[in-house]
Each structure stands twice: as C-alpha cells, then as structure tokens.
Structure 1
Amino acid sequence: MSSDAEVADAVVAAATSVPGVTGLNSGRFGEVATYAAGRRIVGVRLQEFSGEVHIEVDLSRNVMDTAEGVRAATEKASGRTMTVIVEDVTVADPPAGEHTEHENVPGAQDPSGLSAADGDR
C-alpha cells in the first residue's frame, strides 16, 4: 500500500499534467495540504477512500473540461474518488502588439490608470 505522501505526489503530477491547469492552491487559509515528513504537499487533501485536489486554471480554456480532465487523471493516479475544486483562475497576458478588451470600452480602466474616455490627456 502506498503512503499518503506517495499518493499525493501522484495526484499533483496527474493534475498538473492536464492542459489548462496553472497550479495547485492551498485554499483561502492555506489549509489544503497533505503532510509528509518535512514537507507539505499543497493543494491535495486525502481521506481513506477519497480526496480533494484544489486547482488554478487558465481562463482561456474551458474550466469545466479542465476540471473533468483533472478528476479523471487524479482518480486514475490515486485509485480514489476525487473531488476537484477550482480555487482560482488565471488570465494569460496577451502577446505583445495584441489589443486587450479594455481598450475600446468607454470608462474601462487600463493598467496606466487612465480610462478610455480620458483620451490622450
């Protein structure tokens, strides 16, 4: 039988291999982890026959498809029923030279602090 640390490591590897997963998340208060000798395996909480994996996903991908992919991969890796919790989403920066959504929205704030309505002031 595998230790919880070995199972948690396998869950991390399986979850992070799914396209769209940008990382694991320890929860709002840092409470989601599996404890092993000298370390915390963040984002994975295991029970005897089940577990949870808390992920961060790229918003440019379908979040539900990503979560389902993580569930399937982590259940295969762990041999347990897994619940997937999407804790956060990330948005990739657009490539240089591409327009962003806020540029043509009146009143929208851009990173410089000027709104589209401010013009060239």
Structure 2
Amino acid sequence: MIEHADTPEPGVPESIDISETIAEAVLATDGVAGLHGGMFGEAATYLPGRRVAGIRIDQNGTEVHVTLIAGHPVRETADAIRTAVSPLSPGPVHVTVEDVVRA
C-alpha cells in the first residue's frame, strides 16, 4: 500500500518517486494482493510526508515485499513481479513473499 501522511496543497503537483512507480507495477501484477512492509515495517521507502511500504531500493538492488492471493503460483508470480520491475530499476530485483491471503 502506498501511504500518504500529508495531502499536497491543491494545485501543487506531487512528484512521483520511482518507488511509487515500482509499487504500481507490482500491484498490477496478477496474483498480488498487496505490498507488505515486513515484520517490523522495515521494508519501505521513506519520502517527504509519505512512505511506500514493501519497496526498498539501495545499492544492492530493489527489494519487493508482497502478499499474494492464495491459489496463484508463488514462483511464477514472483517471476512476473521481477519482469515488471526490472525495466524500472537498475540492479537485481529481490522478491519476498511475506504472506498469502484468500481473495
């Protein structure tokens, strides 16, 4: 989930961070129920006034933490996430399935 702590002022465009673009691509992947912040919420990108849970980008690549929908194949869904994210972010894409939920 992309969390926004503050709403930008009317008429002032909010800049989109690459982590938010990656989050949208992940959430559009079939079988993904949502992004997951990890056990202690540590898997996130912190931005001014907001954070993107489940996406962390650093010198080692991009970490994507997700909750999947039960019945979708885990490995194939993780591969689909990597395929969606790879063109958006340099370096390897590491996918962690944190949970599986019923649709």
- State the TM-score, normalized to the length of structure 2: 0.79
Match of 2:89 in 1: 78
Aligned with residue 8 of structure 1, among 13, 16, 19:
19
For the 8 Å contact 1:50–1:80, the answer to whether it is kept is yes
**Greater RCO, CA 8 A, separation 6+:** 2
The total of aligned residue pairs comes to 88
Following TM superposition, by how much is the alpha carbon of 1:77 offset from its aligned partner in structure 2, in angstroms?
2.0
Following TM superposition, by how much is the alpha carbon of 1:61 offset from its aligned partner in structure 2, in angstroms?
1.0
Q: Percent identity?
A: 36
Structure 2: gaps spanning 5 or more residues = 1-15
For the 8 Å contact 1:22–1:56, the answer to whether it is kept is yes
Match of 1:35 in 2: 46
Q: Over aligned residue pairs, what C-alpha RMSD do you find? A: 1.3
For the 8 Å contact 1:10–1:78, the answer to whether it is kept is no
Q: Give the secondary structure class of the aligned counterpart of 1:60.
A: coil
Give the structure with the higher percent helix: 1
CA distance in 1: counterparts of 2:41 and 2:18, whole angstroms: 20
Q: How does 1:1-121 map to 2 (within 5 A)?
A: 6-48=17-59, 50-92=61-103
**Structure having the higher Rg:** 1
Q: Give the secondary structure class of the aligned counterpart of 2:96.
A: strand
Q: Match for 1:62: what amino acid?
A: P
CA distance in 2: counterparts of 1:28 and 1:59, whole angstroms: 20
